Amino acid sequence: FKKYKKKNLGVGILLNRDVNYLSVILTCLKLKIYYVPFSRKSSKININRQIKESKVDLLITYKNNKISFLKKKNLKSSRFNELAYIIFTSGSTGEKKAVPITYTNYSCYFKNIKNNFQKSFKSKSLIINGEISFDIVNADLVFALLFNCEIYITSDSNNLYELYHM
């Protein structure tokens, strides 16, 4: 994965909801390359449009039931400097729109969460049930990283039985 590290590298993630998905997110953050979380529930048309709009260089997905790195040819834009990740809005008011989050934004969020919850947040574990392509999961990751929580992830964000069981 490190061989792909370069300025403004973008990684699209189209995996199942599991430890591999979270590992790729954390690796991207560590290497300071931006990632774009995609939902396997989205249509191929939506995913292809989002891949093109987010200008990812690499798509991590499945090929023949194995995790595969697919190179993409995209032209970079200066607006992608210092990006941590790009999420797409839910599309409730029309077509989904890309929302770029910089490392400066993400760092400020970390500091704010730490300052406001340091004394009151006591959990040792955190369950991620939200759709990974939504921003709430990034908030969950911040809490888990800041407060050294174990992370549990449901295999399907719509499976309330699994959430209850966890």
The interaxial angle of helices 19-31 and 135-146, nearest 10 deg, is 80
Cβ(162)–Cβ(27) under 8 Å? Answer: no
Instruction: Outline where DSSP puts E strands in the chain.
Output: 10-13, 34-37, 58-63, 66-71, 83-88, 98-102, 125-128, 150-153
Per-residue pLDDT of 16-65, as tens digits, reads 988 899 999 999 988 888 999 999 888 899 899 999 999 898 999 998 88
Residue type for 94, please?
G
146 has a pLDDT exceeding 60: yes
Per-residue pLDDT of 80-119, as tens digits, reads 668 999 999 877 777 788 999 999 999 999 999 999 999 9
pTM of the model: 0.84
Higher pLDDT, 69 or 162: 69
